[in-house]
Amino acid sequence: MNAIEMETASMVALRRDIHAHPELCFEENRTANLVAAKLTEWGIPVRRGLGRTGVVGIVKNGTSDRAIGLRADMDALPIQEANTFGHASKATGRMHACGHDGHVAMLLAAARHLASHRNFDGTVYLIFQPAEEAGIGGREMIADGLFEEFPMEAVFGMHNWPGQGVGTFAVSPGPVMASHSVFKITVRGRGSHAAMPHNGIDPVPVACEMVNAFQLIVSRNKRPIDAAVVSVTMVRAGEAINVVPDSCELQGTVRTFTTGVLDLIERRMKQIAEHICAAHEARCVFEFSRNCPPTVNSEAETAFARQVMASIVGEENVLKQEPTMAGEDFAFMLQARPGAYCFIGNGDGSHRETGRSAGPCLLHNPSYDFNDALIPLGATYWVRLAEGWLRPPASAA
């Protein structure tokens, strides 16, 4: 793929430009404009507006009605960047701390090669998705008719993975990322003077009892072999040290790999919250939202992706994909179409330039930066995946 490598410098510059101008969920207007302009420059028709700020490029060749989808996410995170190198974020409180800038660059590099060589028979749909970090951008593109307007047999996604060696991929069939659900529980008591708590109903110890009880769901209600996480991450109560507050609010997240386990956890959390409140004469408002399902790779498409990866980096560098409890809204696309979501190694962080923060190069960390060495490798994977999937019949070769 020398042609891809020859364009690496321009793609690195593009990636760093996107990194310096991060945009949050459904605000990716500048990024979408840049993507659309580049695709148009390379002769690729563009459809805009799916999922509000989404962009779809269409690369056709030959006469086949077969099609494949390749997806990259575009949004940044509400994090203040700690790095000070030249392409650090210019936007206060916003940062590409998950590498979506690199994902866009890899797919654009592939788009340029596919458009100039067209060594396939069918259609490649280039899906640039907004709002992955909100967990709903993929769902919104589907609701706007992504798969009806662009019928495709399969769809594939890719994410950089810090700590995994550069030059490696990881992909496995089955669940590879967890469902993402959130909860908000409001314990309503009765305020009083802190020195006379018997005159009120203190919601704080009631809420604390819940936090501990929720962990028994994980350790005692579900099967030990079923993975799950229940994390209370926010506790809000009170405004003065000498006042028992009227209410206490708990918020957090639940992660599972199966709907059955999620059903169990939601049901038990509600029962526990309501009964603990009743036991202490408090009242409970229980809210539970399922943001996205688990990301589940299909067997055949995963095997195909693994073969493509092995042809690029060798079988020994295609690793087993260890499931993670992080969530990914590509799950919605995999519910609608078969496909595979893989990891590409981002390395140990030593690629970062002078001006980097002393912090670790981890996802959702203010010291993170995408490894530009991945751009030609990721683009090569996209190109070979599309060309292999849409390989012309032997008689036409």
Domain total in the chain: 2
Q: How many CB atoms are closer than 10 A to CB 241?
A: 6
Strand, helix or coil for residue 31: helix
pLDDT > 90 fraction of the chain, expressed in percent and rounded: 96
127 in the same domain as 37: yes
CA distances from 110 to 46, 339, 379 (A): 15, 18, 5
State if pTM tops 0.85: yes
268 in the same domain as 324: no
CB 55 within 8 A of CB 72: no
147 in the same domain as 204: no
For residue 397, pLDDT over 90 is answered with no
What does DSSP assign to residue 201? B
pLDDT at 392: 82
Q: Which amino acid is at 37?
A: A
pLDDT at 394: 65
pLDDT at 193: 98
Q: Among 292, 323, 353, give the residue marking a domain's end.
A: 292
pLDDT at 110: 98
- CA neighbours within 13 Å on the CB side: how many for 233? 9
Averaged pLDDT for residues 133-146: 96
Pairing of strands 154-162, 67-73: parallel
Structural domain for 334, as ranges:
2-177+294-396
- Structure-model confidence comparison of residues 1 and 32, the more confident one: 32
95 in the same domain as 47: yes
Averaged pLDDT for residues 28-37: 98
For residue 185, pLDDT over 60 is answered with yes
Q: Among 250, 270, 292, give the residue marking a domain's end.
A: 292
205 in the same domain as 187: yes
For residue 395, pLDDT over 70 is answered with no
190 in the same domain as 100: no
Condensed to tens digits (0 to 9), the pLDDT of residues 104-136 reads 999 999 999 999 999 999 999 999 999 999 889
231 in the same domain as 216: yes
46 in the same domain as 154: yes
What would the 3-class secondary structure string for 64-111 be? Answer: CCCEEEEEEECCCECCCCCCCCCCCCCCCCCECCCCHHHHHHHHHHHH
* Mean residue pLDDT across the chain: 97
Q: Which pLDDT band, with edges at 50, 70 and 90, does 55 fall under?
A: very high
Q: In sequence order, which residues have a C-beta less than 8 Å from that of residue 36 and are 6 or more positions away?
A: 46, 48, 55
213 in the same domain as 159: no
314 in the same domain as 171: yes
356 in the same domain as 251: no
- Structure token digits, residue 19: 């990194």
pLDDT at 135: 87
Q: In sequence order, which residues have a C-beta less than 8 Å from that of residue 225 and are 6 or more positions away?
A: none
Averaged pLDDT for residues 242-256: 98
How open is the CA angle 46-51-57, to the nearest 5 degrees? 20
CATH of the domain at 223: 3.30.70.360
Torsion of CA 35, 26, 346, 337, to 10 degrees: -90
Averaged pLDDT for residues 71-82: 98
Q: Among 270, 292, 314, give the residue marking a domain's end.
A: 292
Condensed to tens digits (0 to 9), the pLDDT of residues 294-306 reads 999 999 999 999 9
For residue 354, pLDDT over 90 is answered with no
Averaged pLDDT for residues 281-306: 97
CA–CA distance, 220 with 127 (Å, rounded to integer): 42
CATH of the domain at 18: 3.40.630.10
* Unique residue bearing structure tokens 């390749």: 70
pLDDT > 70 fraction of the chain, expressed in percent and rounded: 98
26 in the same domain as 163: yes
